[in-house]
Structure 1
């Protein structure tokens, strides 16, 4: 498990790592639908979208760690949360009006 927060961002800016850029973008893109769809489906609980995104992301990373499926990284939790926040904000600016 990689416990160096934001190491992908450092790698991206130090080495212009396309691998790091891809990982960052893909993790965000995976959680944008979650943020949007959770906000749509559970309007009453919309304020918990980000907290639940963090919990879901941590759960995924723990499963990856236990079953040794890929890398378990703190950065993934950060990037997934950013993606969920983007989806949450898109819902707030488009559907809620």
Structure 2
């Protein structure tokens, strides 16, 4: 990439009030836009050096762009954090009620007190395959609840983790913390006699968290594009 363009983008991004991961995403977006604009000027007959200068000129002053980006981001960042924190707390409470503390989790309904081996499955995909191939002898609502329900209940976790915690802005950490949360719940269910512990529940929970993370990334990309559009229009009035 042209050194002049690289430095121009770097100066814009460095002055924004974003996390390191967000800055990298913004840098990538700006790079794509500027390279495309530069290519258009080259096709129009300009030299590469002229095209770069024209693209930078069209985008605007570095400090002005950074200032406008911060204006768009900053007013909503703290309220968004507070609202997200409250929603996450409510979500965690609901998950606890559903999986651990609810009346439907009494030992009488789902826990076998006479054979502990009946209360745990450590063979990956055993339960998933049993439900997936059991349409002829298992109620459809039971299949949907045990397969898609386990994914759905952890999808919000994959969305909230990168939104609230800087350590979880990459998929690796989201999957690790989702795995640990699911494992913790399964252990509590087994020890407290509140349900049957199943490695497949953990697998489905982590898949659900991954789907939630992808939703966060999509929303994040769309919001960054919107911020850039607003900033670009503001600086070119």
Is TM-score (shorter-chain normalized) higher than 0.5? yes
Matches of 2:195 and 2:132 in 1, distance apart? 23
1-side partners of 2:181 and 2:169: how far apart?
15
Q: Does 1:49 align with 2:207?
A: no
In 2, Cα distance between the equivalents of 1:11 and 1:20? 9
- After superposition, residues 15-54 of structure 1 pair within 5 angstroms as 15-16=134-135, 17=138, 18=140, 19-47=142-170, 48-54=173-179
Matches within 5 A, 1:1-97: 1-16=120-135, 17=138, 18=140, 19-47=142-170, 48-96=173-221, 97=224
Q: How many residues align?
A: 97
**Deviation for aligned residue 1:44:** 4.5
Return 5+ residue gaps in structure 2 as ranges. Answer: 1-119, 225-237
Question: Deviations for 1:13-44, whole angstroms, at most 9, x for unmatched residues?
Answer: 32213223321111101111000011111244
TM-score, normalization: structure 2? Answer: 0.39
Q: Unpaired runs of 5+ in structure 1?
A: none
Q: Which segments of structure 1 move beyond 4 Å, counting only runs of 4 or more?
A: none
Q: Which of structures 1 and 2 has the larger relative contact order (alpha carbons within 8 angstroms, sep 6+)?
A: 1
Q: Considering only aligned residues, what root-mean-square deviation do their CA atoms show, in Å?
A: 1.5
SS at match of 2:169: helix
Contact kept in structure 2, 1:58 and 1:77, CA below 8 Å: yes
